[in-house]
Structure 1
Amino acid sequence: MSKQIVIISGSPNAASRLNGMIDWVRQALESKGYSTATITVVTLPADDLIQSRFASPAIIEANKLVEDASAVIIASPVYKASFTGVLKTYIDLLPQKGLEGKLVLPLFIGGTLAHLLSIEYALKPVLATMGARHFIRGVYATDDLINRIQDGSNDTTFELNEELQGRLHDSVEELITEFQLRNRA
């Protein structure tokens, strides 16, 4: 089984605190020998997304990353109790059974705990129709758990609070355990 993991970022904001979560998880996985690739949906051609151009070279390339991955991390801010429309436009371009047999780890961030169940009620039903059956314990964070640090350059770094790091660690370990179990089978 491939140790390739693809991260799909549905944030429309390049400086989103969600990037802090994504970076933390990517570094944790890569330090354990897993390779990662990231699809930042907002950088895909907007016309291809909006006009559902399945034959677009950029969409084909992104879908190939998902196809070749053993696990998919779906990351999104929460707006109006759901994942972003940007993410939905890309999900609509994935093959109908494009998540079949894949481990799926959701990472969501929102302004308040009021949208804590958005992973369960907004994301999982959509992904289940695409063949996703094995969900790793998702992580929902609130904005106040991540500090955005500007160092004077154009680079933005993020500082995650200890409790959030612990939850991300637990989800990464669960993902790794599932990889190991699948490799033994």
Structure 2
Amino acid sequence: MQATMHITSISGSPSERSRSAWLTQFALTRLEGVATRSEHIAVRELPAGALLNADAQDPAIARAIDALSGAGLVIVGTPIYKAAYSGLLKVFLDLLPPDALRGKTVLPLATGGSPAHLLALDYALKPVLSALGARYVLDGVFATDAQLQRHEAGGYVPDPDLLARLDRALQPLLPAARMRSAAEPFDCRR
């Protein structure tokens, strides 16, 4: 992977204060100093009518698709509902061109109430990412609600096992010297 990169993250959560959106942003903080450019797509903020009508010509949708086109790394975060990624994320992914993820590294992230939903990354999300051309999909990271406890100041506090799994998933992206230490303090409100 190149020393610096353009990163685009996609949050497929319908909730403003969601664990999956927080985990997506937290993954970006673990890559600080590596990104030459970083863009974030919060699908819930895109126009609902354009999403539901598959209007890729809508200016906001076109900007989101364009943000993906220049990315070297795409981080996809979603809550897991009923053993699948969010419908909101599905509506957005359905708008993308067939090869939208070709040549890109993709990191799938998901959150769910229990470990029973862990395989949704492999059986629901990864096939769609592959259908969009992704060939280099990093190890997905799934977090249960218990692994992301709410912080009284806002945000969440990840447990050590989750931090270790996230850092292992990110390892192929950068030299070990540039990886933020798991022991390094972080702002959990991000």
For the criterion TM > 0.5, the same-fold answer is: yes
Question: Partner of 1:164 in structure 2?
Answer: 162
Q: Secondary structure at the match of 1:75?
A: strand
Structure 2 distance, partners of 1:133, 1:114, is 26
The 5-angstrom pairing of residues 60-99 of structure 1 reads 60-99=62-101
Normalized per residue, which structure has more helix? Answer: 1
Query: Could you tell me which amino acid in structure 2 is paired with residue 165 of structure 1?
Result: L
After superposition, the C-alpha distances for 1:3-58 in whole angstroms (9 at most, x for unaligned) are 10111000011111123312321111124455321100000000010011010000
Q: Are the structure 2 counterparts of residues 62 and 159 from structure 1 closer, same or farther at C-alpha, using a change threshold of 3 Å?
A: same
Structure 2 distance, partners of 1:33, 1:133, is 21
Query: Could you tell me which amino acid in structure 2 is paired with residue 90 of structure 1?
Result: F
Tell me, yes or no, if the aligned pair for 1:30 and 1:36 is still in contact at 8 Å. no
Structure 1 distance, partners of 2:93, 2:27, is 21
Q: CA offset at residue 172 of structure 1?
A: 1.5
Structure 2 distance, partners of 1:27, 1:75, is 14
Structure 2 distance, partners of 1:131, 1:67, is 12
- Can you give the 5+ residue segments of structure 2 that lack an aligned partner in the other structure? 176-190
After superposition, the C-alpha distances for 1:148-170 in whole angstroms (9 at most, x for unaligned) are 1243xxxx221111111111111
Q: Secondary structure at the match of 1:30?
A: coil
Structure 2 distance, partners of 1:11, 1:170, is 24
After superposition, the C-alpha distances for 1:39-81 in whole angstroms (9 at most, x for unaligned) are 0000000001001101000011000110000111111000010
After superposition, the C-alpha distances for 1:73-129 in whole angstroms (9 at most, x for unaligned) are 111000010000000010011111101111010001111111111111101111111
Structure 1 distance, partners of 2:56, 2:24, is 26
Tell me, yes or no, if the aligned pair for 1:4 and 1:69 is still in contact at 8 Å. yes
Could you list the structure 1 runs, at least 4 aligned residues long, displaced by more than 3 angstroms after superposition: 31-35
TM-score for the superposition, normalised by structure 1: 0.88
Identify the range of structure 1 (82-91 vs 19-28) with the bigger mean alpha-carbon deviation.
19-28
Question: Partner of 1:42 in structure 2?
Answer: 44
Tell me, yes or no, if the aligned pair for 1:10 and 1:77 is still in contact at 8 Å. yes
Question: Partner of 1:116 in structure 2?
Answer: 118
Question: Partner of 2:18 in structure 1?
Answer: 16
Tell me, yes or no, if the aligned pair for 2:112 and 2:142 is still in contact at 8 Å. yes
Structure 2 distance, partners of 1:175, 1:48, is 34
Q: Are the structure 2 counterparts of residues 112 and 34 from structure 1 closer, same or farther at C-alpha, using a change threshold of 3 Å?
A: farther
Query: Could you tell me which amino acid in structure 2 is paired with residue 168 of structure 1?
Result: L
Percent identical pairs in the alignment equals 39
Tell me, yes or no, if the aligned pair for 1:20 and 1:160 is still in contact at 8 Å. no
